[in-house]
Amino acid sequence: MTNQSTTTTTDDVVRVEDLKVNFYTQLGVVRALNGVSFNIPRGKVLGIVGESGCGKSITGMSIMQLVASAGKTEGGKILFNESAGGNQVNILDYERNSPEMRKIRGNNISMIFQEPMSSLNPCYTISDQIEEAIRLHQTNDNVESRKRAIDVLTKVGMPNPDRIADSFPHELSGGMRQRAMIAMALSCTPTLLIADEPTTALDVTTEASILDLMRELQSEIGTSIMFITHNMGVVAQMCDEVAVMYLGRVVERATVDDIFYEPRHPYTIALLQSIPRLGRTKGRLASIEGSVPDPYSRVSGCPFHPRCPVAIKGVCDTILPEETIVDAAKGHTVRCHLYS
């Protein structure tokens, strides 16, 4: 067993409580987040896992207050705690573009995305962009900021940091760009790094080296990471704790070991059964019936009940299950009537 962490500790970098985000579109209201609650323990990697449309990316964007303008936060709290025992602030109290929010963004919380090209400006060199963040939040000295940029590029394993620093994003390969993004995100040693599917667009060998790099940096700098992904393999390799999301809610929250070895929620179990396991599964995979309902519809009761093989008639289709603690010591909670 690699990780034996607990969530009983009160030292969380971020606590999200009952977060609700709705999107108002021409076709109707999309309830992207229906009351999401979870915590990110300091110095840990929390995996947020789920299928498309479960709201995992919106959750990350909400913490940064970067949700597109059609999305309205309609309730809940995002409590951010910069250092252990320090002041707790509710991020949602700040205006989207207020100076406080801008200070948090980039300096305290950074984000990396699936497609590095979309967040790197093609007109500036890599070092220009890293130095911009450094000068915005840390130092005004050009020589110093350049030195730090080279340092951070070295740290992310760039083979030739001086040369890379002066190249433009389009001159780099996908893996290199993702490294540059990570360098940018880490340049101000943030308290929390939100990684939104950072390796999904990469090839498997590059993915492995980026994950390795992130784990290495995490143990070195101690940054907490919120790792958003749909890939159970990446979760197993990368995270300490996991929150499984389905249709805008966290349905199960446990340590990574519990998620894989003692999953409780039927959705988590079904998800794990449906992935081919190396050297193990031949023939049929157990699959989840149907597909994720379209975002405009509202499902009564437990959001998973229409696809759940063990749903209880008259209960699961009418009553929304509450978050239930199944193992207090390890902080294992689940939202399912079978455990209440």
Partner 1 sequence: MAVDATQLPHTTATQVEDVGQIPQWQLMVRRFRKSKLSVGGMYVLIVMYTIMLFSDFLAPYDHNRLDSNYAWGPPSQVKTVNGQLSTFALKQTLDTERLQWLYVVDESHPLPIHFFVQGYEYHFLGIFPSKLHLFGVEDGFQINLLGADKDGKDVLSRLLKGSQISLTLGFVGVVISVIIGSIVGTASGYFGGAIDNMIQRVIELLRSFPDIPLFLSLAAALPQNAPVEVRFFLITMIIAVIGWTGLAREVRGKVMSYRNADYTAASVAAGGSHWHIITRHLIPNSLSHIIVVGTLAIPAAIGSETALSFLGLGILPPAVSWGVMVRDAQTIEAITTYPWMLLPVLVLIITVLSFYLLGDGIRDAVDPYA
Partner 2 sequence: MTTDDMLLEVRGLKKHFPIRSGFLRRVTGTVKAVDGIDFHIKKGETLGLVGESGCGKSTAGRALLRLHEPTAGEIIFNDPTLGKVDVAKLDRTTMLKLRPNMQIIFQDPFTSLNPRLTVGQIVGEPLEIQHRASGSELIDRVAELLNEVGIRPENMSRYPHAFSGGQRQRIGIARALALNPKLIVCDEPVSALDVSIQAQVLNLLGELQAKYGLAYLFVGHDLSVIEHISDRVAVMYVGYIVEMAKTDKLYFTPKHPYTEALLNAIPKADPRMRTRPIRLQGEVPSPANPPSGCYFHPRCRYAKDICKQERPPLQDIGDEHFVACHFAKELSLVGVQPLNDIKLEMPVKKS
Q: How far apart are CA 242 and CA 183, in angstroms?
A: 25
The answer to whether residue 195 forms part of the interface with partner 2 (CB under 8 A) is no
Does 125 help bind partner 2 (rule: CB under 8 A)?
Answer: no
Asked if 212 is part of the footprint of partner 2 (rule: CB under 8 A), the reply reads yes
265 and 334 in contact (C-beta within 8 Å)? yes
State the pairing for strand pair 241-246/324-327: unpaired
Q: Which stretch binds partner 1 (CB under 8 A): 84-92, 152-160, 165-173, 294-302?
A: 294-302
Among 154, 209, 295, 306, binds partner 2 (CB under 8 A): 209
Among 46, 180, 217, 256, binds partner 2 (CB under 8 A): 256
Using H for helix, E for strand and C for coil, what is the string for 29-66?
Answer: EEEEEEEEEEEEECCCEEEEECCCCCCHHHHHHHHHCC
CB 16 within 8 A of CB 34: no
Check if the beta carbon of residue 111 is closer than 8 Å to that of residue 66: yes
Partners of 69 in the β-ladder = none
Secondary structure percentages of the chain, helix, strand, coil, to 5? 35, 25, 40
* Strand, helix or coil for residue 8: coil
Q: What is the distance between the alpha carbons of residues 248 and 257, in angstroms, rounded to a whole number?
A: 24
Q: Which of 284, 313, 314, 329 binds partner 2 (CB under 8 A)?
A: 284
Torsion-angle region of residue 222: left (phi > 0), alpha (psi -120 to 50) or beta? left
Q: At closest approach, how far in Å is the CB of 307 from partner 1? A: 8
> Is 310 near partner 2 (CB under 8 A)?
yes
Question: Buried b vs exposed e over 110-142: b needs ≥16 C-beta within 10 Å?
Answer: bbbbbbbbebbeeeebbbebbbbbbbbbeeeee
Is residue 236 within the footprint of partner 2 (CB under 8 A)? yes
Binding site partner of 284, from partner 2, partner 1, none, Cβ cut-off 5-8 A by kind: partner 2
CB of 265 to partner 2, least distance (A): 8
Which amino acid, 132? E
Please select the residue that binds partner 2; options are 136, 269, 299, 320, rule is CB under 8 A. 269
Closer to partner 1 by CB, 219 or 297: give it.
297
Q: Residue 175 interacts with partner 2 (CB under 8 A)?
A: yes
Residue 292: CB minimum distance to partner 1, A: 9
Choose the stretch contacting partner 1; rule: CB under 8 A; options: 46-54, 140-148, 182-190, 283-291: 283-291
* Residue of 221, 286, 325, 328 interacting with partner 2 (CB under 8 A): 286
Helix (H, G, I), strand (E, B) or coil at 255: strand
The residue among 123 and 278 lying less far from partner 2, judged by its C-beta, is 278
The binder of 297, among partner 2, partner 1, none, by C-beta within 5 to 8 A per type, is partner 1
What minimum distance in Å lies between the beta carbon of 284 and partner 1? 11
Binding site for partner 2 (CB under 8 A): 1-3, 51-52, 159, 173, 175-176, 203-209, 211-212, 230-239, 256-257, 259-261, 263-264, 266, 269-288, 291-292, 294, 309-310, 312, 336-339
Binding site for partner 1 (CB under 8 A): 26, 287, 289-291, 293-294, 297, 299, 306-307, 317
